[in-house]
A and B are shown apart, each in its own frame.
Chain A
Amino acid sequence: MTLALDLLLAGAILVVAAWTVAARDGFAACFGFVATGLLLALAWVRLGSVDVALTEAAIGAGIGGVLLLNAAARLRGQETVDPGDVARPWQARGIAALCTAVAVALAAVLLALPVPAPGLAPAAAAALPPTGLGNPVTATLMTWRALDTLLEAVVVLLAVIGVWSLAPDAAWGGRPGPQVPPAEGPLALLARVLPPIGLVIGLHIVWAGADGPGGKFQGGAILAAMWVLAWMAGLVRPPPVGSRRLVLALVAGPAVFLMVGLAGLALAGSFLALPAGFSKPVILAIEAPLTLSIATGLALLLLGPPARAA
């Protein structure tokens, strides 16, 4: 039964992905992309990685899908193609041959992997109790891969700066995204009912990340989505990008993380090392501002560069 399930799931993902690449227009391809992401979340559950499934559903298919779909709607018919970029027939054949070769080689390597593969699971399980956390993935992200997590938060910040830097000169310092008139009908209702529920669920997922699947990025994506929904219905206005409070919310998480990391240098002997016995309270103290920064950053990335003068 489980093999049939896995084969069906993998086959469906493959078909949708192939269609996404082959679809005629970009807008339709985006639907294929979102469907692929949703099914991939199921595949991650089957692979025993519920944390990744949650991330794929929230960030890959969820806000990522919305971002690409909006872009496709705005680009419709406006995208100009450089004739030099179109593959000639002999090039197309070469590309197809190359990609097939890559896929076949990768498949051969993956199937030849020893079972059980050498891994860090025993080491991770052994190092789990001192952290006071129940979820080995969160423990990995917050302790011995903490540098990744810090830089990941910084990457979100850098992306916000990069997106903002694309603002037209006249709009610099202004509010991101277009002005949205207040919505009526079903959207106005949903934008009032869903965000409070989403807030509870988003915070629950951040909190649950200590002991089960979840975490700040997944929960932060939900919080960001709820804010963008309220914005879509014209209920809230984004602050101007020059606003001091906005900037503070964006940098609070990485700044606190960095300070704790430097404190680790003094107290526990190395950068980002956590003092033994205090891991869990320290991790929670880092996660709270980090969640605020991530949610703010993801929402601003969805809105795009400032478009109106301050």
Chain B
Amino acid sequence: MTAPYALLAAALVGLGLHGVLAHAEPLRRLLAFNLLGSGVFLVFGVVARRGAAAGLEADPVPQAIVITGLVVAFAATTLAVALLLRLHGGDPPQD
């Protein structure tokens, strides 16, 4: 039942890690890092689904952790983007 997503999670982690290590452009690394994060979150999703019990469709504790993780990942990404634009984005917009 969860096997396709378990394999997908593993593949996303591998792909994301590859992008982070192999790319030279910072933005591409950032994208790859987010994919790596998606893979890790999906691991939690598979574990949550496997832990379905007590009439719940999935274990709520890993779900809550993933929600926290998604928000933190977004906050970190905005900070990284702001740094990137300050370093490489040329002049601050003047218009």
Contacts and interface: CB of A to CB of B under 8 A. Distances in A.
Direct A–B contact present (CB less than 8 angstroms):
yes
Contacts of B28: 21, 26, 29
A139 interface: yes
Given A78-B90, A217-B71, A148 B64 contact: yes
A48 B5 CA distance: 12
Nearest to A87: B22
Given A60-B38, A103-B14, A141 B82 contact: no
Contact of B3 (A111, A125, A126): A111
B35 A36 contact: yes
A51 B56 CA distance: 13
A74 B5 contact: no
Interface residues of A, number: 102
A107 interface: yes
Interface in B62-80: 62-68, 70-79
Given A52-B45, A111-B6, A71 B58 contact: no
Contacts of A75: 27, 84-85, 88-89
A166 interface: yes
Contacts, number: 297
Contacts of A14: 8, 11-12
A80 B89 CA distance: 10
Given A63-B74, A102-B14, A141-B64, A78 B88 contact: yes
Interface residues of B, number: 83
B60 A301 contact: no
A139 B35 contact: no
B34 to A, nearest CB: 7
B86 to A, nearest CB: 5
Contacts of B89: 74-75, 78
Contacts of B24: 81-82, 85-87
Contacts of B92: 168, 171, 307
Contact of B61 (A20, A82, A92, A124): A124
A184 interface: no
Contact of A159 (B22, B43, B66, B76): B76
25 contacts: A10-B7, A14-B11, A17-B15, A21-B19, A43-B42, A48-B49, A55-B67, A60-B34, A60-B73, A64-B74, A67-B74, A80-B88, A81-B25, A92-B22, A104-B14, A121-B51, A121-B60, A126-B54, A145-B68, A148-B68, A155-B72, A215-B67, A301-B74, A302-B78, A307-B92
Interface of B: 1-19, 21-28, 30-32, 34-35, 38, 41-43, 45-68, 70-79, 81-86, 88-90, 92-95
